[in-house]
Amino acid sequence: MMLRFENAFIMRKSVQDIMGTNVPLKLFNDSGCLFHALTTIHPATEKQLLIDLSILRQSYEHRDIAEILRIPGRNNPADALAKSDSSPALTNLLNNNTMIVNPNG
């Protein structure tokens, strides 16, 4: 998660410098535990997870991340790449250019 966030943050900064405008960064995640840990006061136990959560939470509070959204497993297009019994989310994304996310977790 952190590597993807760091890469997105760097790309966002580069695009903003080139375009001269603010580009919102949205964090999409399919883990309910991580979503709730980031958006609520939820204790984590692993030291590295605590550090990662602290960095992400601070970025969210400083509005470096515009939104944190949860993609329920049944709507996750990435599941089609790893699971044989996945939902049609990837097909829907490719055919209709739409994806279902749950802004409330």
Confirm whether 18 is domain-assigned: no
Q: What is the pTM of this model?
A: 0.53
69 forms beta bridges with 28
Per the structure, the count of domains in the chain is 2
Domain limits for position 31: 1-12+23-70
Average pLDDT score, the chain: 79
Q: What does the pLDDT look like over 41-68, one tens digit per residue?
A: 666 667 777 788 888 888 888 888 888 8
Q: What does the pLDDT look like over 86-97, one tens digit per residue?
A: 667 778 788 888
Clarify whether residues 57 and 33 are in a common domain.
Answer: yes
Distance separating alpha carbons of residues 5 and 11, to the nearest angstrom: 10
SS (H, E, C) 44-62: CCCHHHHHHHHHHHHHHHC
Q: 14 pLDDT band (50/70/90 cuts)?
A: very high
